[in-house]
Amino acid sequence: MRLLRFEDGDRAATGVRIGDAVVPVSALSGFPEDPAAILAGGAELRGRLAAAAAESSARRPMAGLKLLMPISRPGKVVCIGLNYALHAKEGGNPIPDYPAVFLRVQSSLVGPEAPMLRPGCSTKLDYEAELAVVIGRTARCVKEADALDHVGAYSLFNDGSLRDYQRKSTQWTMGKNFDATGAFGPELVTPDELPAGAAPLRITTRVDGQTVQDSTTGDMIFPVARCIAILSEVMTLEPGDVIATGTPSGVGYARKPPLFLAPGMLVEVEVEGIGVLRNTVADDPAFAA
């Protein structure tokens, strides 16, 4: 099943995508509209929702809909750094035996088709294609063998990074959290539609149509199940929490010459079987004054 959120007049609505159409959950009786609640309801609820949507005549064409982030306000956005071997090597880093972990705040993210904003204090906005994992079942001290049972859905993530600010200290927080520099969406794809752990799936980035990242999620150093086990040892993962699982090689700062995002560019992140996350780049108007 594929879930998405979209603007419906003056409100945000949740829908089930069926081909080129979407069925609003509000048109179906007895189901929660919050995507996190739908994921938390487990496979049985998702199965009933998918069946009800398939039978419903309350379909709207996808064309023309303004899509929103599929989880409006994730409780946590946990990011895994240096999780592809070739990406670690291209930055001159050793292959880690424990993942680099950092957090993103909600204001740093935008939804599909929305502009990623380049702040006026830097010209080094970089792209990072990532597989996003959305938790569907509370996880605490979960064993790796059981970790995938806690996945509610998969989506796409662009971990936009200001490289100069990322390297101002040993902590990456500042470079990863400028307002509206990252992107998340457009859909939540439930695990039954993908291979276990969403691997191996092709993952790519295109900038103005040029492929700049091209790898597979099977090359992760810490696969999805391992990430959940490691994180849940430290923190409780709750329905709607997002894990961004790292980016493959080909990022802008490591290219020769470097390729950084500038206003007017189009960035497309794609993972096989999940979809495409598209965003333009614009200047952040907050720096215009």
- Say what the pTM is: 0.97
Residue pair 176/104 in contact by the 8 Å Cβ criterion: yes
Q: List pLDDT tens digits, range 246-288.
A: 999 999 999 999 999 999 999 999 999 999 999 999 999 999 8
Instruction: Please give the DSSP secondary-structure letter assigned to residue 222.
Output: S
Q: List pLDDT tens digits, range 201-259.
A: 999 999 999 999 999 999 999 999 999 999 999 999 999 999 999 999 999 999 999 99
Q: List pLDDT tens digits, range 147-201.
A: 999 999 999 999 999 999 999 999 999 999 999 999 999 999 999 999 999 999 9
- Domain range annotation of the chain: 2-68, 77-287
Task: Write down the pLDDT at residue 95.
Answer: 87
Task: Write down the pLDDT at residue 87.
Answer: 81
Q: Is 98 exposed, middle or buried (0-12, 13-18, 19+ CB in 10 A)?
A: exposed
Of the chain, the percentage scoring pLDDT greater than 90 comes to 95
Q: What does each C-alpha distance from 148 to 104, 158, 194, 196, 204 come to in angstroms?
A: 23, 23, 12, 8, 24
pLDDT at 94 over 90: no
Which among 37, 30, 218, 29 is positioned nearest to 3, based on CA atoms?
37
CA torsion 213-218-224-227 (nearest 10°) is: -80
Which residue carries 């009933």 as its tokens? 48
Which residue carries 């929660």 as its tokens? 32
* Range 83-112 average pLDDT: 91
* Range 20-46 average pLDDT: 97
Calculate the CA 175 to chain-centre distance. Answer: 18
* Band of pLDDT at residue 120, cut at 50, 70 and 90: very high
Of the chain, the percentage scoring pLDDT greater than 70 comes to 100
Task: Write down the pLDDT at residue 246.
Answer: 97
Task: Write down the pLDDT at residue 262.
Answer: 98
Task: Write down the pLDDT at residue 93.
Answer: 80
pLDDT at 145 over 80: yes
Q: Which CATH superfamily is domain 77-287 in?
A: Fumarylacetoacetase-like, C-terminal domain (3.90.850.10)
